[in-house]
Amino acid sequence: MATRKQRKRRAKEQRHEYVWEDEQGNELEPDDVPARKATTRGPRRAAATGRQPQPPSWSRTLKRALVFAPIMLVTVMLLSSNLGLPGQIAQTALLVAIFIPFSYFLDGVFWRSYQKRVAREQAGRRRSG
């Protein structure tokens, strides 16, 4: 079954009359139009953009925590205005203390999932190639 986007695209193609031209500007019949190459789209956005997950490291995790700590402090200050500044800082420190190992754990999960996907693709290439 076609998705909503595909149905809309097909309906648009049927609504409009398209004129195809070659490189010299001559009109082509619809039967003479060369087929477009299929583009590969899918859930592998990281591979498509060239960005690949890196193995987890504590230094990267701590840098991320340094970026998020002020954001967490401001959030705690807005949500816990009845606490004094020392209480807000203590609550933020607790949140950061939970955030650091959890962030490292998630980096590991993403890394292992990426490694499994790469191994699966390589195994598929070996079988077909």
Convert the pLDDT of each residue in 43-84 to its tens digit.
Answer: 555 455 667 889 999 999 999 999 999 999 999 999 998 999
Q: Per-residue confidence at 41, pLDDT binned at 50, 70, 90?
A: low
Does pLDDT of 121 surpass 80? yes
Tokens coding 52: 């690949």
Residue 27 has phi, psi (to 5 degrees) of -70, 140
What is the rounded CA–CA span in Å between residue 59 and residue 50? 23
The beta-carbon contacts of 52-60 under 8 Å, at least 24 apart in sequence, are 52/114, 53/107, 53/110, 53/111, 53/114, 54/111, 55/107, 55/111, 56/104, 56/107, 56/108, 56/111, 57/107, 58/104, 60/107
